[in-house]
Structure 1
Amino acid sequence: MSYRVLITDHPAATIEVERAVFDAAGVDIVVAESTDPEALAALAVDVDAIATCFAKVTAAVLDNAPRCRTVARFGVGVDNIDVARASELGIVVTNVPVYCIDEVADHTLMLLLALARRLVPFAVDTAAGHWNRGLAPVPIRLRGKTFGIVGAGAIGSALIPRVTALGMTVLTLDRHGVDIEGATAVSSLDELLVAADVVSLHLPLTTATHHLIGARELDLMKPTALLLNTSRGGLIDTAALTAALSEGRLGGAGLDVTEPEPLAADHRLREMPGVVLTPHYAFSSDGSMADLSRIAAEHVLDVFAGRRPTSIVNAEVLSSAALRAAELA
């Protein structure tokens, strides 16, 4: 039987890696020219799987894909996929939580160092031909400061040795609530926010975590504290963050993700000297992109072959009477 996979969009510049995986298995590829949900719904009619990066795989797209057995995410978060509807329809949803652990941890560390050393204003001003040591506030000494990690999963845990190497003390808040080597677990978000000099977010975006950091939480933080987010923009209330920074109630922010994304060209966060923004590329490197494309494509083939992929988001679907795939062993 010949299978067809719809690729809505992809993380790398080309689909050479995915194509090699699918060609070797005799699987046909349909590449969308538009990520408009109506266009995707039309293409989904006769495909057996959907592979997606940032495109919205809505209930309407899934409802229009009667043969679809699986939706594979090129990435970790699945907030662009209607997972609940996929589960109702018996569609297996996969993601790739292991492909960019070092990259995101390194990027988070870079944002921290850029903020602490006032890198951006100094670098921009020096490149413009100036030599002004008094341009920005005095840099921050990190040794002896407290680094708070909200979400001590793979990426959060990878940050621990990185920041302890700087001489920082690490606190973690995680659903498991256990100490990790090099860090001390706290019992509540409020406790972490009050104690930390730096707060770094490493959580998926869900209804429970949406605007986890809002006006109340920002008021709990030290006025000199730094806030880092390399997970999902919706974890932070952007309006509340903008106000806190504008009013001097927060020391700075390093953001690879924002809500909305991208920010408007004239948004105040783009111009604030205490803010470092990057365009949602913490996940990217020459190695991580190849890993991501290959693993996501292999997850699709696993479902076709009746094998259990290494990461299933909606594992409860495996015991559902609606499951479209063969039993996954």
Structure 2
Amino acid sequence: MPKWKVVVSDWEYQDLRYEEKVLDHEQIELIPAQCKTEEEVIRACREADGILNQYAPISGKVIRELQRCRVIVRYGVGVNTIDLDAATERGICVANVPDYCVDEVSDHTLALILDKARKISLADACVKQGKWDFKVTQPVYRLQNRTLGLVGFGKIPQRLAEKVKPLGLRVIAYDPYVPEPVAEALGVALVSLEEVCRRSDFVSVHAPLTAETKGLIGREQLRQMKKEAYLINTSRGPVVDENALIEALREGSLAGAALDVAGEEPIRPDHPFLSMKSVTLTPHMAWYSEESAEEMRSKAAHGVADVLLKGEYPKYLVNRKVKERVKLKPNALAY
């Protein structure tokens, strides 16, 4: 009996032990690859039945060359590496892992908020340069009764809202897709994007990267923010217009930023952010803990197994319209 071929298009882990554990089946052949370009993905995945994908481009061009593919699962939440319309047209299920790092990212975001509020990174750098003087951090404001504005109000920012409430922060959010009762249950007011920018002392970005959200935080939004406000981004770099942010920081119309993501990763050595004292940077690590990494990789592999071994739609199906083109069994654990 022919084996299902499952190709890992690319990965940045030490091994594939979690994927191998889930897909350890006589009907599956797991094939590792390290693709960076469309051409490399086509060569590696042309005859794949399933694909596990991290950063390699699964574009329309790639998808049109796939001869047998039935499922593509993206490590993580965002699916911006995959042309969803092209996959749907070909009857390919696309899945992700939307719930593996809710605590990690909300914790990391909170850490960045506290870093900017108390100016920890700035103070640390000054002390190490021989400046033992709290005045280098002035002004610092009390956190209680200040406002956190959330751009996007999915699972991660909802968890963040729960975590900051005991600190005395007021929380408002912009998300046109979240029902008001969901926000009200957490004591969060849903408002316009303009109001989030205008009222907030910290604006934290949690929107996925789509055609709709690319550049969502641009010049207009940054100009609406308070001069003493901070921008936090732990979602995707291109959701924020980097040139507009650099301009705002240089003009002093914004107090600073804390960024776990960049428009281009890794960030280039001559990027202006690297020389800005008002910017705190981390290397796209908000998602990471040992536990979250195992959970993400195992759940991604289960998404492939759902389709190939069980004949079910994957639990975390993203392109739901594919059900009009391919008939599989319902997944009892569907997200």
| Aligned counterpart in structure 2 of residue 313 of structure 1, from 308, 314, 318 | 318
TM-superposed CA distance for 1:326, in Å, is 4.2
Q: Distance in 2 between matches of 1:40 and 1:12?
A: 18
Q: Distance in 2 between matches of 1:275 and 1:232?
A: 16
* Further displaced range: 130-139 or 264-273: 130-139
Query: 1:280 corresponds to which letter in structure 2?
Result: H
Q: Distance in 2 between matches of 1:143 and 1:25?
A: 58
Provide the aligned C-alpha RMSD in A: 1.6
TM-superposed CA distance for 1:165, in Å, is 1.6
- Give the match for residue 259 of structure 2: 255
Query: 1:302 corresponds to which letter in structure 2?
Result: D
| Aligned counterpart in structure 2 of residue 176 of structure 1, from 175, 178, 188 | 178
Residues 58-207 of structure 1: pairs in structure 2 closer than 5 A: 58-128=59-129, 130-174=131-175, 175-178=177-180, 179-207=183-211
Give secondary structure in 1 for the equivalent of 2:11: coil
- Give the match for residue 13 of structure 1: 14
Report if the CA contact (8 A) 1:42-1:64 is conserved: no
Query: 2:250 corresponds to which letter in structure 1?
Result: S
TM-superposed CA distance for 1:72, in Å, is 0.3
Report if the CA contact (8 A) 2:11-2:34 is conserved: no
Structure 1 unaligned blocks of 5 or more: none
* Further displaced range: 64-73 or 261-270: 261-270
TM-superposed CA distance for 1:327, in Å, is 4.6
| TM-score normalised by L of structure 1 | 0.94
- Give the match for residue 55 of structure 1: 56
Report if the CA contact (8 A) 2:41-2:56 is conserved: no
Report if the CA contact (8 A) 2:174-2:190 is conserved: yes
Residue-by-residue CA offset, 1:156-191 (whole Å, 9 max, x unaligned): 100112111211111122222413334332331111
Report if the CA contact (8 A) 1:177-1:185 is conserved: no
Q: Distance in 2 between matches of 1:282 and 1:249?
A: 27
Query: 1:176 corresponds to which letter in structure 2?
Result: V
TM-superposed CA distance for 1:301, in Å, is 0.4
Query: 2:178 corresponds to which letter in structure 1?
Result: H
Closer, same or farther in 2 for the Cα pair 1:5/1:151, shift >3 Å? same
| Aligned counterpart in structure 1 of residue 293 of structure 2, from 284, 289, 293 | 289
Q: Distance in 2 between matches of 1:257 and 1:64?
A: 31
Give secondary structure in 1 for the equivalent of 2:73: strand
Q: Distance in 2 between matches of 1:208 and 1:270?
A: 28
TM-superposed CA distance for 1:58, in Å, is 1.5
Give secondary structure in 2 for the equivalent of 1:93: strand
Q: Distance in 1 between matches of 2:243 and 2:92?
A: 37
Closer, same or farther in 2 for the Cα pair 1:143/1:284, shift >3 Å? same
Give secondary structure in 2 for the equivalent of 1:223: coil
Report if the CA contact (8 A) 2:9-2:45 is conserved: no
Give secondary structure in 2 for the equivalent of 1:224: coil
TM-superposed CA distance for 1:262, in Å, is 2.8
Structure 2 unaligned blocks of 5 or more: none
Are 2:306 and 1:302 equivalent residues in the alignment?
yes
Report if the CA contact (8 A) 1:199-1:227 is conserved: yes
Report if the CA contact (8 A) 1:70-1:303 is conserved: yes
Query: 1:55 corresponds to which letter in structure 2?
Result: A
Query: 2:259 corresponds to which letter in structure 1?
Result: L
Residue-by-residue CA offset, 1:263-315 (whole Å, 9 max, x unaligned): 32121111111111111111010100000000000010001121232211101
Residue-by-residue CA offset, 1:105-147 (whole Å, 9 max, x unaligned): 0010011111111111222333455533233333332111011
> How many corresponding residue pairs?
326
* Further displaced range: 109-118 or 58-67: 58-67
Report if the CA contact (8 A) 2:91-2:322 is conserved: yes
TM-superposed CA distance for 1:220, in Å, is 0.7
Report if the CA contact (8 A) 1:226-1:253 is conserved: yes
TM-superposed CA distance for 1:328, in Å, is 4.5
- Give the match for residue 236 of structure 1: 240
* Further displaced range: 140-149 or 56-65: 56-65
Q: Distance in 1 between matches of 2:142 and 2:192?
A: 27
Closer, same or farther in 2 for the Cα pair 1:198/1:88, shift >3 Å? same
Query: 1:42 corresponds to which letter in structure 2?
Result: R
